[in-house]
Amino acid sequence: MEMTVTIALAVASVGSFLLLILSAFPGVLADLFRLTLITSCLWFPALGIGCFVYLLRSSRRKPSSESGSDDLFGVVQPRRSRVPWKAIAAAVLIVDLGLIACDVPKRIAFAFTRPAFERLLADLSPEDFRHVRVDLRLGLYHVDRIATDSQGGVYFRTRATRDSIDEFSYGFAYRPDPIRSPFGRCDYKRRHLSGDWYQFIANNDY
């Protein structure tokens, strides 16, 4: 059981580190979560069966000695403690989830990319931002649409996904409208990054 817990914590900490990297890109984690929910009818029963089989096999195993194990000469060898490794894995998991919740990876990534966005703002006039299709690489991000709202906010869409009906847009915005966006009003949210810059999500279902 102890080995299983250690392995589970190690896998969880590695997975959280991968999520930490993916969280630097707007919308990726939301799409992964949505995909997980959609496919839950497939993986959840398999997970339940796997846990049941594991618990059944574990209950049939002989309990191991608490003090250690005998070697070939009958000398009891002390059991090596895995508590430090479990503590490290648990700490990595907690720290990674905390960084993701606070958008730290995205803030750091955008800090390096922000000069590229601001150069584009300085080079173009407001008329050039009226919901146009583009194909731009700005630092770490690929921008496929640029749009303005009625208050003069400028939006750079870096990701778009569709479900059966609606389109979800994600990206960065400069001085965005707090109520609506040019990519939709439904589920519209903005979150401050730095200065006048925000990240946003919007659904085109008005």
pLDDT at 80: 55
Query: For the chain, which ranges sit under pLDDT 70?
Result: 1-10, 13, 43-44, 47-48, 50-55, 57-83, 85-86, 125-131, 164, 206
pTM above 0.85, yes or no: no
Q: Match 């002390």 to its residue by tokens.
A: 78
Residues 27 and 170: beta-carbon distance below 8 Å = yes
Separation CA 157–CA 145 (nearest Å): 5
Going by C-alpha positions, the residue among 4, 2, 19, 8 that lies closest to residue 89 is 8
> Can you give the pLDDT at residue 66?
47
Burial 141-160 (b: 16+ CB within 10 A, else e): bebebbbbbeeebbbbbbbb
CB 120 within 8 A of CB 136: yes
What's the pLDDT score for residue 9?
65
CA 187 – CA 197 distance, rounded (Å): 19
Contact indicator for 201, 173 with CB cutoff of 8 Å: no
CB atoms within 10 A of CB 12: 16
Separation between Cα atoms, residue 82 and residue 29, nearest integer Å: 32
CB 205 within 8 A of CB 166: yes
Instruction: Please calculate the CA angle 77-81-84 and round it to the nearest 5 degrees.
Output: 160
Q: Give the pLDDT score at 204.
A: 79
pLDDT at 110: 94
| Identity of the amino acid at 9 | L
β-partners of residue 169 are 160, 202
